[in-house]
Amino acid sequence: MEKVCFMITPIGKEGSDVRKNADEVLDYIVNPICKEYGYSVVRADKMANSGLITKAIIEQIITADLVIADLTGNNPNVFYELAIRHSYRKPTIQIVKGEIDIPFDVANMRTISYETTLSGADVAKREIEATLKSIEDGNSVHNPVSEVSTLLNISANSTEENAEVLSTLLLEVQQIPENLKVLESNIEARFSQMLSAFIETIKSEHTNEPIKPEDKLLEMFMNNLMSNPQKGIQSFDALMKLQEKIDSSQKNQK
């Protein structure tokens, strides 16, 4: 069964510049590339329908396998129809002529720029083709409406899957204190290794020399720091404060 691509576009009156542009885009860009991928392109003014044309258009917007929306000119009807399509989270490609600014609401979605010159049409076809390949590969469809709808569904529905995710997150949070203890233990072990190497270096440098009192004190301090890093750090802080008092007292005596 042939797939359907519905074209949302400003159409304009017969003979107008708007109609001329719409026909060129359809004939030289959209039709050629869509046919390569097995799509039959439908545009509102070319629909044969004896009923209400608006109803038929909306039906095509909803049911079409693909919609290509031309945002050129910021036409209100185009954006109304595009909004309907977005609410059904189905494949949609946005295009626009040149570097025209488009409204903020859809500006964050990828919009393919085109020109109706020979080279411009070829570039646009290649970009549309890349998007078509992504759609054919089954990649997810994202638009402002679908993204908000997804967030609302997640927050509103307490499904078993969501409960499982929350349970996993809670378990991870509960394990944080234990993981911190392991990390602290690893840091202390590494710190002790570094201090041990430092002490051995001092000893080797004074092998044939009498050990000075300050070196002996440093060695004792290092050994204490290795056996109990936390206590050793507290002792070091106390020594530093004592040294500050001594220095201050000596300055006052002068």
Q: Which two tokens stand for residue 8?
A: 């949302």
Residue 21's alpha-carbon distances to 7, 9, 14, 43, 243, in angstroms, are 13, 10, 11, 14, 86
- CB–CB of 31/39 below 8 Å? no
Q: What is the pLDDT of residue 248?
A: 72
pLDDT digits 0-9 by tens, 23-77:
999 999 999 999 999 999 999 988 866 555 688 899 999 999 999 999 999 899 9
User: What is 110-177 written as a DSSP string?
Assistant: -EEEE-SSHHHHHHHHHHHHHHHHHHHTTPPP--HHHHHHHHHHHHH---HHHHHHHHHHHHHHHHHH
What sign does the CA torsion over 196, 200, 201, 202 have?
positive
Average pLDDT score over the chain? 77
Say if residue 187's pLDDT is above 80.
no
Q: What are the extents of the domains in the chain?
A: 3-156, 160-253
pLDDT tens per residue across span 110-137: 899 999 999 999 999 999 999 999 988 8
Residue 237 has pLDDT above 80, yes or no: no
Distance CA 12, CA 49 (A): 19
- Using one digit for the tens of pLDDT, what is the confidence trace for 2-13? 899 999 999 999
pLDDT of residue 212: 60
**CA–CA distance, 11 with 23 (Å, rounded to integer):** 8
Amino acid 72: pLDDT: 93
Is domain 3-156 given the CATH code 3.40.50.450 in the classification? yes
Q: Which residue has the higher pLDDT, 116 or 101?
A: 116
pLDDT band at 154 (very low <50, low <70, confident <90, very high): very low
User: pLDDT: is 169 or 61 the higher one?
Assistant: 61
